[in-house]
Structure 1
């Protein structure tokens, strides 16, 4: 018997020297059947196996054909039943029947709601023949600017002299990175932008900054009307790492103590940025909330996590049952929008309704060749403003005189605060089918963009926004700028007055 290599591979399987099958062979069978030594019987068995294979393949083909036929009959039957249901629903008056319930469950394609086709957000993106998405992107940007320009123009009596305590959560929860780069960094950046915008729209108001950290509340910036002081403090907070747990009660008690000497003609507000899901309080926070309600302090909370029951109770009780002052951030853009909402003064309610005459001073600027001490910082400065009541020197306006407590402002500051009481009307979008009198914007003199549908060659939008008073058209950029910065219509101001 010749020797056979045990490592050689063949169609017969691996064979060792003893002539036995190798167990590592994938075709190895531990219980082999007996092989018939008669060649005629083997041929007969092979032919029977071939016949069985052919018959099984024929049966599988017939099964597939039957399945297709059943599917076609099922679809036809379902369409017929849907048509019958639609006809029956037209004959039924009122509600309460089975047909009405089935119709409520039907989707847009006539079937049930769970049979509707899946519509993905990216399936709505369309391009023109050249594969260009410029028109689509421009329409999305314009729609976003439209939302920014649409604001409540109903005139309310508002408290334009505001005292607001900005309370920031600097606890360990602000290290979360669901907002890039993290919650703490984004909160500080948006707070700086808020300070700029707040004093631009409310020049005769004041702000103080309180942070919550390690279970305590810290006053990091005194109440003042100088935005640069607050911005410098916020920039220094960037270098500090958030630690510990927040204490909402300590922050509210500190804010209540700061706002207690505020005169009644000024509003008392607390804006809280809360990123934690709990509060480490030394006492009964519900008693603190009751004290805030008694002192007429109004609170607003911007949550960075899930809704917290005590924050909802705080906003509801301090705002006379209005729950809209507690909102949860959805994304970075929404966080910025919630900050911007706090810029507008709150309407005066019926409880606080009243008229108060406030004494104000309008000092004039004086230039000096020799520096003298100012009464606000006790520093040598060239020139400044002298109080018309006590003749004390201050560096900048608006401010409160350190000697006689008289509010010192300029006429422009009062004018910028007045636009909250009489807001500018919303510009109306011009119909795209209307004949346009001009091709350029009245304000910036740029040509209006043309956004056309390449399939129908029709304008998607006119990109023109018309003042309801002077009937002059503006572009979307000028519309947003006029309503957010100027607060006066250039077309109305340019018309000659008799």
Structure 2
């Protein structure tokens, strides 16, 4: 008997192993087929690419540069997005639906789906109002085959956090009901004004739905009321979820995704903070929206007033510019005259969705050497040292030790990652680090280099000084000619 651990040689096998009764019937394989398959190449399972194959050691034998490069690549991947200016609805009315059924007790996402969802929901509420300060939000839960109202439609994130904290302590139970949740969402969004968007975001962890009726009738009503539905699945794709998202979003399935892991779940949830683009068939003529911009007032002496929105005693607040009612915080809607009350900063923070900051481009070693940038323009953090010798553009000479620079390993594998650790604004041309790139695109939504550029101001001052000199000399014609020149 041949050794089972020895290498198998197919050429030495007998014909009986490949042919039965002189032929190659079903379940058999001829010698020629064996040789042909062996010559075809490697099997599919032999071409597996392992993630640790891309990790290489530096010249000093450490992995610090590689780890730093992979971390930078992860940050950069969050920034590579489409920055095309689109018409978006900056006044949003969104209902967040949370699955609180027994399926959320699974531990495939640690510690459990329910605990993780509640934690991410609080982060989503905070980020939602940071990016959309003049929008409204409501929270609904699904459990025991019914839909429960967690918080009403409001623009106050503190109320949502307080109401959500009470439901976090309750264990998930029962079955979810998509139809009941969507019908409750219709009731919350039916009275919202037409100038705002009507959206529903569902976090769904089950593979079934306990509905009291025909859910397709509810789907028809959602389409009629122009309500968009987006779903984030935690288990697997469900046919009815794909149909709901497709028919309420103009045939697009991009609003239905399944989270692969915890970080992917968080990214999908926070991506919903960006207002959706207005579809062509929904674009209407521009209409004016009346808003009030009240000032903050303090009660005189020791007097205490009651706010009209919560009927709570307060010493400070904002007076409605139309009726004079006192509200405790902004943005809000006046409970007396229904006037939208906001601050000018709220309107400015919502404006960046219409004209997003363009992505910064990667800087090669050749460009970095030409500009001689050694520190970030914004935070003054030092950049990696420029190699002494560069053989080709965008490439490093390994003899100079360029392969050990932070991010160089990941730059070869991930598109959009700078090999020099520098990122340049296409307008002002200044170089920034990856942390400032992340801060500018996700928090500031403005380029620090463009905001601090005084060349336009200097040109205006020079023009004004030239006009003043021309008037003093009594020769206006020469002054105008100098300006044109």
Alignment of 1:175-214 (within 5 A): 175-214=105-144
Evaluate the alpha carbon distance shift between residue 444 and residue 276 of structure 1 in structure 2; reply closer, same or farther with a 3 A threshold.
Answer: same
Q: Aligned-pair RMSD on alpha carbons?
A: 2.5
Alignment of 1:410 with 2:334, yes or no, is: no
Evaluate the alpha carbon distance shift between residue 476 and residue 181 of structure 1 in structure 2; reply closer, same or farther with a 3 A threshold.
Answer: same
Alignment of 1:421 with 2:349, yes or no, is: no
Q: Counterpart of 2:380?
A: 445
Once residues 188 and 287 of structure 1 are traced to their aligned partners in structure 2, the CA distance between those partners, rounded to angstroms, is: 30
Q: Counterpart of 1:463?
A: 421
SS in 1 for 2:83: coil
Shift of 1:119: 4.5
SS in 2 for 1:366: strand
Once residues 372 and 151 of structure 2 are traced to their aligned partners in structure 1, the CA distance between those partners, rounded to angstroms, is: 54
Once residues 225 and 332 of structure 2 are traced to their aligned partners in structure 1, the CA distance between those partners, rounded to angstroms, is: 24
Shift of 1:124: 3.1
Q: TM-score, normalised by structure 2?
A: 0.79
8 Å Cα contact 2:95-2:137 kept in structure 1: yes
Evaluate the alpha carbon distance shift between residue 408 and residue 455 of structure 1 in structure 2; reply closer, same or farther with a 3 A threshold.
Answer: same
User: Among 225, 230, 240, which residue is 2:170 paired with?
Assistant: 240
Alignment of 1:217-232 (within 5 A): 217-232=147-162
Alignment of 1:377 with 2:310, yes or no, is: yes
Once residues 451 and 38 of structure 2 are traced to their aligned partners in structure 1, the CA distance between those partners, rounded to angstroms, is: 56
Once residues 349 and 45 of structure 2 are traced to their aligned partners in structure 1, the CA distance between those partners, rounded to angstroms, is: 57
Once residues 447 and 412 of structure 1 are traced to their aligned partners in structure 2, the CA distance between those partners, rounded to angstroms, is: 33
Which one is further off, 381-390 or 445-454? 445-454
Alignment of 1:424-435 (within 5 A): 424-434=357-367, 435=369
Evaluate the alpha carbon distance shift between residue 335 and residue 114 of structure 1 in structure 2; reply closer, same or farther with a 3 A threshold.
Answer: closer
Q: Which has the larger radius of gyration?
A: 1
Alignment of 1:303-452 (within 5 A): 303-354=233-284, 355-369=286-300, 370-434=303-367, 435=369, 436-449=371-384
Shift of 1:113: 4.1
Q: Counterpart of 1:493?
A: 451
Once residues 295 and 111 of structure 1 are traced to their aligned partners in structure 2, the CA distance between those partners, rounded to angstroms, is: 57
Give CA-to-partner distance per residue, 1:379-427, whole Å, 9 cap, x none. 2111210000001000000000000000000000000000000001110
8 Å Cα contact 2:365-2:386 kept in structure 1: no
Shift of 1:351: 2.0
Evaluate the alpha carbon distance shift between residue 285 and residue 73 of structure 1 in structure 2; reply closer, same or farther with a 3 A threshold.
Answer: closer
Q: Counterpart of 2:195?
A: 265
Alignment of 1:167 with 2:97, yes or no, is: yes
Shift of 1:433: 2.9
Give CA-to-partner distance per residue, 1:231-277, whole Å, 9 cap, x none. 11222222001010001100000000110000100100000000000
8 Å Cα contact 2:296-2:318 kept in structure 1: yes
Q: TM-score, normalised by structure 1?
A: 0.77
Once residues 118 and 380 of structure 1 are traced to their aligned partners in structure 2, the CA distance between those partners, rounded to angstroms, is: 66
User: Among 71, 78, 84, which residue is 1:154 paired with?
Assistant: 84
Q: Counterpart of 2:434?
A: 476
Once residues 47 and 234 of structure 2 are traced to their aligned partners in structure 1, the CA distance between those partners, rounded to angstroms, is: 35
Structure 1 residue runs of 5 or longer lacking an equivalent are: 1-59, 75-101
Once residues 226 and 49 of structure 2 are traced to their aligned partners in structure 1, the CA distance between those partners, rounded to angstroms, is: 50
Evaluate the alpha carbon distance shift between residue 181 and residue 491 of structure 1 in structure 2; reply closer, same or farther with a 3 A threshold.
Answer: same
Once residues 269 and 233 of structure 1 are traced to their aligned partners in structure 2, the CA distance between those partners, rounded to angstroms, is: 21
SS in 1 for 2:147: strand
Shift of 1:437: 2.2
SS in 2 for 1:290: helix
List 4+ stretches of structure 1 deviating above 6 A. 70-74, 451-454
User: Among 273, 283, 302, which residue is 2:232 paired with?
Assistant: 302
Give CA-to-partner distance per residue, 1:81-130, whole Å, 9 cap, x none. xxxxxxxxxxxxxxxxxxxxx99x999xx834448465433233221344
Shift of 1:451: 9.6
Give CA-to-partner distance per residue, 1:353-388, whole Å, 9 cap, x none. 022211100001112232111111112111210000
Evaluate the alpha carbon distance shift between residue 469 and residue 119 of structure 1 in structure 2; reply closer, same or farther with a 3 A threshold.
Answer: closer
Higher relative contact order (CA 8 A, sep 6+): 2
Which one is further off, 280-289 or 113-122? 113-122
8 Å Cα contact 1:128-1:454 kept in structure 2: no
8 Å Cα contact 1:398-1:408 kept in structure 2: yes
Q: Give the number of equivalent residue pairs.
A: 404
8 Å Cα contact 1:135-1:451 kept in structure 2: no
Evaluate the alpha carbon distance shift between residue 217 and residue 458 of structure 1 in structure 2; reply closer, same or farther with a 3 A threshold.
Answer: same
8 Å Cα contact 1:363-1:410 kept in structure 2: yes
Once residues 464 and 274 of structure 1 are traced to their aligned partners in structure 2, the CA distance between those partners, rounded to angstroms, is: 40
